Structures are given as C-alpha cells and as structure tokens.
Amino acid sequence: MKNLLAAATLALSVSASGLAFAEPLKIGMITTLSGGGAGLGIDTRDGFMLAIKNSGNKDITVVTEDDAQKPELAVSIADKMIQSDNVDVLTGIVWSNLLMAVAPGAVAQGKFYVSTNAAPAALAGANCNKLYFNAAYQNDNLHEAMGEYANKAYKKMFILAPNYPAGKDSLTGFKRYYKGELASEVYTQVGQTDYAAEIAQMRASGADGIFVFLPGGMGIAFMKQFAQSGVKIPVMGPGFSFSQDVLPAIGDAALGAKASGQWAPDFDNEASKKFLADFQTEYKRLPSIYAVQAYDAAQLILSAASKASVKNADAFRAELLKADIKSPRGNFKFNTNQHPIQDIYLTEVVKKDGVLTNKTVEKIFADHGDAYAKDCKL
C-alpha cells in the first residue's frame, strides 16, 4: 500500500513535470494607454493578451499599467512592479526614450525584459544584455529597408524624423543603405502637430522623394497636411507611418504610400491567417504591426515558460533564444544580440472593401539582422 502511494505520487509528479514547469509566471506590462500615443499601446496590449488567452495557460498573470508616454512615470511603475508586485518579466514599452529609462535598470535587478517595440541602438550593440530580448526588430531595420528601396528609383531624398532616440536611429538606418544624394535631413519636435514649415522646405528642396518617420498622431497630421499642400513628391516611410492604427484617421491621403514592414495583413501563412482572424474576432478591428510584435513577444515568453522556470535565468534565456514559435511574420529567429533576424517587405497602402490597409509588394531584405550585433559580446 505504501509502495503504491509512493508510486502514485511519483507518477503524478512526473506527469506534472511532463506538463512542463507549470510554475506561476508574472509579467509586468508597461505601455502607453492614455494620451496621443495610446493607440500604439492598446494594440500592444491587445496583441499580447490575445496570445496569452489563446494559450489557455492559467499560471501566467499579466499586470498592466499605463505609462502615459512619460519616462518618469514608466520608471516608477517599473520600480513598483519589480519591488512590490514581484514580476519576473517586463514588457510592453512602445517608445525608445521610455525603454532607455526602464530596461537597463530592470535587467540590472535580474528581471527579463522582452521588448514589443522600442529597440534603441544603445541596447543592441556593446551594451546588449543577457536578460534583454527584442521581439520586434532593431529600430534601424525598417528604415534600412526603405533606404535600400529608395536606391531603386530615387536620386535626391528629403528625410525627416522626430528629434528623439528612435528618430535618430531611423535616419541613421536609412542612410546606411541609401546611396543617393540627400536634399535635406530635418528633425522635428516629438509630438509636433503642424508640419507646414517642413512641407514648404520639401517643396523648395528639389527632392524627388520624401522619407518620413512619424509614428502615431504625428504621421496623421503630416499626411493630411501634405495632401493639401499641392506638393507632388512621392512619400514613403517605415511601416509605423502607415500602420493600421493611423490609416483610418489619415484617410485617402495615404493611398499609394510605400512603406516597409515585417508583417502585413495579407501575409499568406497559417500563423498569420489565424492571428488575423483571432484578432478581428476578439477586438473587431484590423491589427497593426505593434499588435503582431506584442503577440510574438507573448508567444516567446509562453514558449520559454513551458520548458523552463523563469527562476533559472540561464535555462529560461536558452529557451527564449530558440524562438520556438509560429510567428505571423513567417521567418523569425534571434540574432546573437537577441534581436530578430527576419524578412522585411515593401508594402503599399490600398483600399480593400472600403477599408484602408497595407498590401505586400515585394521582399526587400531576406533574413535581415542589424548593424550592431557585431559589437555585442554575449
């Protein structure tokens, strides 16, 4: 009888470990849910929670807080989550300046940070960290792709971005691949809403193409004003400039704009179709690339959590690095600096069934990593 009990206990414990480490995992999500950048944070949260919900994993809890796009608020939320909520993994920050305020401190305290969007150069090169992963890209990537695309048809580009870390990464990335002449390189204020002065410079510059990186409300304002200005130079940008969160508000002024992205709603793979259908059923709207990135970040954390305990940082990190997920983007693996290696596509804004969306045109880069990985010694 005693033996039987022991055997039963043993069998139970074996089957429990076969079910993987069903150990509680607490994720702290800090993202922008109020203010002008809220659309991006809401897509991040919804994409992330969709993957958690689909997994049916009851051992994972997610605490979500709004950073209102303010670095000081993000830092105090992170401190609270680490010290009193005891989270194991942090995620969700949209903006690079906020990420720079939070991520270095979080990893120094032994917490994992899996970025759903922000990917400043400063954390991809010499200052990479074993506990810092990026599930989205490196900030330069989508801009590099547009630089490569611009080489095909344009000789004199006017390039513009907001004056903050991701804006500088953007234009640096663009110039890394673009070989032609620059008509001008302009930095605007973060959150600027009137671009009349810049549009006038574009008109006067003699440029044959315009590259703008203006995420969120900034891009909406720019495109509407540009459409009214009578300037006929073609506009292009990284995917954020024409992402699903801003397209309805820009309206037809965005039609025909070219952008780069690692995902578009017309991707023809099973994971993408399932993601698109699930997202639309759950939230009654089309997802943006922020939602895809967060969905993959959640999938990555889930896949690692099913095989290793987060308390064992080395094992958990090894599982994360395998990137054993079915990404809607198709190819996805991690580089040596724990940033993605993925394909990047050219997309075009089209109207489908009366809804503005992005359509894939061609592949610009296959298995594209980033320029900073070589400086990362992990």
Binding residues for another protein (CB under 8 A):
33-36, 38-39, 42, 163, 168, 171, 175, 182, 184-189, 191, 193-194, 196-198, 200-201, 203-204, 217, 220-221, 224-225, 228-231, 245-246, 248-251
Q: How far is 98 from 73, CA to CA, in rounded Å?
A: 9
Min dist CB 10 to another protein, Å, is 52
Cβ closer to another protein: 198 or 319? 198
Cβ closer to another protein: 171 or 264? 171
Cβ closer to another protein: 220 or 308? 220
Min dist CB 345 to another protein, Å, is 24
Q: Residue type for 109, please?
A: Q
Cβ closer to another protein: 46 or 319? 46
Min dist CB 42 to another protein, Å, is 5
Min dist CB 16 to another protein, Å, is 41
Min dist CB 225 to another protein, Å, is 6
Min dist CB 249 to another protein, Å, is 4
**Residue 120 · residue 71 · CB < 8 Å:** no
Cβ closer to another protein: 83 or 193? 193
Min dist CB 11 to another protein, Å, is 50
Q: Exposed e or buried b for every residue in 338-363, given b needs 16+ CB within 10 A?
A: bbbbbbbbbbbbbeeeeebbbebeee
Min dist CB 182 to another protein, Å, is 7
Cβ closer to another protein: 146 or 250? 250
Cβ closer to another protein: 132 or 174? 174
Cβ closer to another protein: 204 or 378? 204
